[in-house]
Amino acid sequence: MIGDYPLFITHDPSGDAPYVATATLTPVPYGGKPSYRTGLTHYPLPRFLTLSQIEFPSQFDVLVVGAGAAGLYTALCLPESLRVGLITKETVALSASDWAQGGIAAAIAPNDSPSLHIEDTIHAGAGLCDVTAVEFLAQQAPKCIKSLVDLGVAFDRHGQALALTLEAAHSRNRVLHAADTTGREVTTTLTTQVLRRPNIQVIQQALALSLWLEPETGHCQGISLFYQGAITWVRAGAVVLATGGGGQVFAQTTNPAVSTGDGVAIAWRAGAILRDLEFVQFHPTALTKSGADRFLISEAVRGEGAHLVDDEGRRFAFDYHPAGELAPRDVVSRAIFSHLQRTAVDPATAYVWLDMRPIPEEKIRLRFPNIVKVCQRWGIDVFHEPIPVAPAAHYWMGGIATDLNNQTNIPGLYAVGETASTGVHGANRLASNSLLECIVFGAQLANLTPADLTQHTETPALPTKEFKIDASEWQNQQSQLTILREKLPRLVWQSAGICREQSTLSVAIATVESWQQDFAALPLSQFFLSLQPNEPVSFNFSDTDQQLRLWAETGNLLDVAYLILKSAAFRTESRGGHFRLDYPDSNPDWQVHTLVQKHQWWQSLIMKS
Residue 39 is predicted with a pLDDT of 30
CATH no. for 280-394 = 3.90.700.10
557 with 488: CB under 8 angstroms?
Answer: yes
331 with 321: CB under 8 angstroms?
Answer: yes
Question: Which residue type, as a one-letter code, is found at position 364?
Answer: I
Domain boundaries, the chain: 1-53, 280-394, 473-604
Beta strand 274-275 with 420-421 is: unpaired
What is the secondary structure of 381-404 as a DSSP string?
-TTTSPEEEEEEEEEE--EEE--T
For 290, residues 6+ apart whose C-beta sits below 8 A from its C-beta are: none
592 with 605: CB under 8 angstroms?
Answer: yes
Between CA 431 and CA 104 the distance in angstroms is 8
Between CA 452 and CA 412 the distance in angstroms is 8
Between CA 299 and CA 296 the distance in angstroms is 9
Residues of the chain with pLDDT under 50: 1-54, 96
Element (H, E) at 469: none
Residue 288 is predicted with a pLDDT of 93
- pLDDT tens sequence across 19-51: 343 433 333 333 333 322 223 333 333 344 443
Number of Cβ within a 10 Å radius of residue 388: 21
Catalytic residue among 184, 235, 275, 329: 329
Q: Residue 338's Cα: distance from chain center in Å?
A: 27
3-state secondary structure of 423: coil
User: Directed axis angle between helix 544-570 and helix 471-496, to 10°?
Assistant: 30
Between CA 112 and CA 109 the distance in angstroms is 5
Residue 94 is predicted with a pLDDT of 53
329 in catalytic set:
yes
SS (H, E, C) 131-152: HHHHHHHHHHHHHHHHHHHHHC
Residue 101 is predicted with a pLDDT of 54
Nearest to 499 by CA among 606, 340, 346, 289: 340
Same fold for the pair 280-394 and 473-604: no
Element (H, E) at 301: helix 299-303
CATH no. for 473-604 = 1.20.58.100
Which stretches within 169-286 are classed as H helix?
Answer: 182-195, 262-269
pTM over cut 0.85: yes
